[in-house]
Amino acid sequence: MRLIDQLAATRLYYHRPLPTLPDILLIDIPTSYSGEGLALDRYYPVILETLAEMHEFETFLCERRTELIAPSLLARRPSSLRTDDIVIAQYRPPAPGWPWLQLCCWPNRYTMMVPDPAEEFARGTYTVDAFDTAADISAAELRLRAALGTNEARHVRSISALGGHA
């Protein structure tokens, strides 16, 4: 069996809003494998920083296996992105029926606050959340900014989805 035929049969690429941010491959996990812990209980985001990683991941999905495994090939690979600011980016759905994505890039001073950064942050740097509507993602960003407080708000860089791309 191959992941591309079952677990990752339905997937879509969200293109980066800026050259310094990653692309995201969003896998719509079949109902029999979906549930709590996935974005909107059904989506598995894969953060792709380079074209080489995109090819590597597609090869990984196409490999023949004796059993299904989690598509976590890149999840613990360290990110090449380094930032001193919190970066919040909105990724517009590239096709109808797909969710909006909010990618946050966190500086080391934040990721090191949790006991196991590799467990809490994809690639040691990112969090990704999914939302059904543009209004939902905008409200979530406002809540995040409010939670960060006025001292940190000046360090936040928000990138909104524009012109058909995120």
Residue labelled with tokens 């090869």: 59
Residue 93, domain member (yes or no): yes
Give the tens place of pLDDT for each residue, 41-77. Answer: 999 999 999 999 999 999 999 999 998 888 989 988 9
**What residue numbers bound the domain in which 149 lies?**
3-159
Distances (CA, A) of 98 to 79, 92, 133, 142, 150: 26, 9, 9, 22, 33
pLDDT at 150: 67
What pLDDT was estimated at residue 59?
96
Residue 165 is assigned to a structural domain of this protein: no
- Token pair for 99: 């969710």
Specify the pTM.
Answer: 0.88
SS3 69: coil
Per-residue confidence (pLDDT) for residue 163, from 0 to 100: 44
Among 121, 124, 140, 143, residue whose Cα is nearest residue 132: 140
Residues of the chain with pLDDT under 70: 150-158, 160-166
Task: Provide the residue type at 146 as one letter.
Answer: A
| Residue 137 forms part of a structural domain | yes
Domain-located, residue 26: yes
**In this structure, what token pair is assigned to residue 15?**
């293109």
**Residue 60 has what pLDDT?**
96
Is 140 a domain residue? yes
**Number of domains composing the chain:** 1
Asked whether residue 166 is domain-assigned, the answer is no
Query: Does residue 44 form part of some domain?
Result: yes
**68 in Cβ contact with 7 (< 8 Å):** yes
Note the pLDDT of residue 151: 65
Would you state the structure tokens that stand for residue 123, as one six-digit string?
């690639």
Asked if the structure places residue 80 within a domain, the reply is yes
pLDDT score, position 7:
92
